[in-house]
Amino acid sequence: MKITEKEFNALTGKETIIERDETASEKKAREKTESYNLALVAEAEAKAQAKATAEGKLAALGLTTDDLRALGL
């Protein structure tokens, strides 16, 4: 993956743009972050699915989440 770095020298007002390949450690860190983010998304989707399933079961019984709150559950 290419990395673009931009440097600005405040004294000269010159801007330098460098494009380079990522290092092995940068690649490892990027991949670790990507896998962590994918895990977070999967976890959030699983929680949303579980909530929807639970609400569906409650609806089949004629209850709502407000009914459960009123019962202290």
Please indicate whether residue 5 or residue 56 has the higher confidence score (pLDDT): 5
pLDDT given at position 26: 96
**With pLDDT > 90 as the criterion, what percentage of the chain qualifies?**
68
DSSP for 5-69 reads EEEE-TTT--EEEEEEEPPHHHHHHHHHHHHHHHHHHHHHHHHHHHHHHHHHHHHHTT--HHHHH
pLDDT given at position 27: 96
Average pLDDT, the chain: 92
Q: Could you report the per-residue pLDDT of 10-26, keeping only the tens digit for each?
A: 999 999 999 999 999 99
Q: Which helix (H) or strand (E) holds 70?
A: helix 65-71
Residues 68, 51 contacting (CB under 8 angstroms): no
Give the residue extent of every domain in the chain. 2-71
- Tell me the whole-structure pTM to 2 decimals: 0.62
Q: Which residues pair with 42 in a beta bridge?
A: none
Whole-number Å distance between alpha carbons of 4 and 16: 10
